[in-house]
Amino acid sequence: MKKLNLFMTTAALLSSATTLAVETSVSGFGSIIGTTLLGDEGYWVKHPSGAGYYGEDSSFEIREESLLGIQGIFQFDDRLSVTAQVVSRGQDDWDPSIEQFFVSYDATDEWNVKLGKLRNPVYMYSDSMDIHYSFGWLRTPGTSYSLSANFLEGVSAMYTGSWGDISNRTIVYYGETDKSPDPFLTELFVNRKFKNSNESPLTKHLYNVKDLYGITTEFYYESWTAHFAFMETGGNRGTNLYEDGTSKVEKHPWRDFYDVAVSYDDGDWFAIAEWNEFTGVYSSYYVSAGKYWESWQFLLTYGEFKGELKLENGFVLPKAANEHTDSLALTARYDVAPGMAFKTELIMFNNEGSLIVNDVDGDKKIESTVLSIAFDFVF
């Protein structure tokens, strides 16, 4: 109840700010997502922050991926504003957290600068993946959207411009993210649900990556969008040795992330292909295509994830190094009204080498069928 009160108080504060001189707008988003296993051992969405785990004991789980977010924008003048976004997630016991908090300044018509806590725009949908209403799937494709570096405390500059029929939006950013465990590997370093945590050396070594920077650029031509992203992480790494209670700071190995996506959306048809690679960790891709029909949208999506983790200091994770996932999903979306949509998604999930999902029957494979329904909204 205290958590609920805190969340409601935050919402009330955002709302009451409308009485101040600054022009204030309050908006929000949310998703109620229920998932059940129709067959076999389990399902792991691989989403950042560990959301989306359904084990064999899951009946009809609503808490795992449901969320509610409220955003306030405090507009001081035509160019200067502050945005605060609070999100409460079922997976975090509904504890509200400030997920975006930044000051934004339009330096020119083309250039915008932000400072604060930002979403990291590495995937085509990574900065909007909590806004389930904004895309056709029930959730962003789980095989690809697993990089947990979805927040950045730092600065970004965004360019918006066009040349003839081609428009461009480019974001460059620099900052840090220092949550533990390692923010870049959802599955391997997530601080829960290891099948046998005693076997993992990583429970003794947690990482705080301090530096990251990158560039994301998107080109728009009529119904087409091309997305390119590059991010590099490195700097110092704080390693806590829980075995003997000591800690040390050392150079973090530089790692690069690349993402390329091409999408088509003309209001009748939708298609996208996205590929990405986190060097020395994994590569993944998905393709998705669908059709809008009246208030409906139907999508068919196939994706693969290939783990290729190489760790320093002699750590060996043979299962993760060889992990392979593929999934086939069929999604139906029905727009009740602008701002409200029902969705259902059926996923055939195949995995070998998961550290998360138990291989109950011992055949070294996870082959699950998963059904989800959701109600997404924005206001």
Partner 1 sequence: MKKILTLVGTLVFAAHCTAGVAVIVNPANTNALDQKEISKIFFSKTKSFPDGSQAVPIALEEGSATTEQFNSNVLHRKAAQLKAYWSKLMFTGKGQPPRAVADGEMLELIANNPNMIGYIDEAKVTGAVKVVATF
- Bridge-based pairing of strands 340-352 and 96-106 is unpaired
**Contact with partner 1 (CB under 8 A): which of 27, 180, 197, 322?**
27
Closest C-alpha among 309, 302, 327 to residue 46: 327
Q: Residues binding partner 1: what is the number (CB under 8 A)? A: 43
Task: Rule CB under 8 A: say whether 69 interacts with partner 1.
Answer: yes
Question: Interface mask (CB under 8 A) for partner 1, residues 93-122, using x and -?
Answer: -------x-x-x----xx---x---xx-x-
Helix H, strand E, coil C: the string for 48-73 is HHHCCEECCCCCCECCCCCEEEEEEE
| Minimum distance of partner 1 from residue 112's CB (angstroms) | 8
Tokens of 165: 């029929």
Task: Rule CB under 8 A: say whether 127 interacts with partner 1.
Answer: yes
Task: Rule CB under 8 A: say whether 72 interacts with partner 1.
Answer: no
C-beta of 84 vs 356, nearer to partner 1:
84
Tokens of 205: 């070594």
Angle at 310 between CA 192 and CA 215, to 5 degrees: 85
**Contact with partner 1 (CB under 8 A): which of 1, 337, 362, 364?**
337
**Contact with partner 1 (CB under 8 A): which of 16, 97, 295, 322?**
295
Q: How far apart are the first and last CA of the chain?
A: 24
DSSP code for 244: T
C-beta of 133 vs 189, nearer to partner 1:
133
Gap between the Cα atoms of 348 and 346, Å rounded: 7
**Contact with partner 1 (CB under 8 A): which of 16, 162, 180, 247?**
162
Give Cα separations from 170 to 111, 221, 227, 244, 250 (angstroms).
10, 15, 10, 46, 33
Closest C-alpha among 271, 378, 379, 374 to residue 332: 374
Task: Rule CB under 8 A: say whether 299 interacts with partner 1.
Answer: no
Contact 241, 248 (CB under 8 A): yes
| Minimum distance of partner 1 from residue 135's CB (angstroms) | 7
**Contact with partner 1 (CB under 8 A): which of 178, 254, 310, 339?**
339
Task: Rule CB under 8 A: say whether 378 interacts with partner 1.
Answer: yes
C-beta of 130 vs 274, nearer to partner 1:
130
| Contact set for partner 1, span 235-254 (CB under 8 A) | none
| Minimum distance of partner 1 from residue 95's CB (angstroms) | 20
Gap between the Cα atoms of 61 and 14, Å rounded: 31
Question: Interface mask (CB under 8 A) for partner 1, residues 191-210, using x and -?
Answer: --------------------
Closest C-alpha among 155, 103, 99 to residue 129: 99
Contact 142, 194 (CB under 8 A): no
**Contact with partner 1 (CB under 8 A): which of 57, 93, 165, 244?**
165
Task: Rule CB under 8 A: say whether 161 interacts with partner 1.
Answer: yes
Gap between the Cα atoms of 317 and 330, Å rounded: 33
Question: Interface mask (CB under 8 A) for partner 1, residues 250-289, using x and -?
Answer: ----------------xx----------------------
**Contact with partner 1 (CB under 8 A): which of 167, 203, 236, 358?**
167
Name the phi and psi angles at 114, rounded to 5.
Answer: -125, 145
Tokens of 176: 């840090």
C-beta of 199 vs 266, nearer to partner 1:
266
| Minimum distance of partner 1 from residue 164's CB (angstroms) | 9
Task: Rule CB under 8 A: say whether 15 interacts with partner 1.
Answer: no
Angle at 345 between CA 342 and CA 349, to 5 degrees: 160
**Surface-to-core class of residue 305, CB atoms within 10 Å of its CB (0-12 exposed, 13-18 middle, 19+ buried):** buried
Binding footprint of partner 1 on the chain (CB under 8 A): 27, 29, 69, 71, 73, 83, 85, 100, 102, 104, 109-110, 114, 118-119, 121, 125, 127-128, 130-131, 133-135, 158, 160-162, 165, 167, 169, 220, 222, 266-267, 292, 295, 335, 337-339, 341, 378
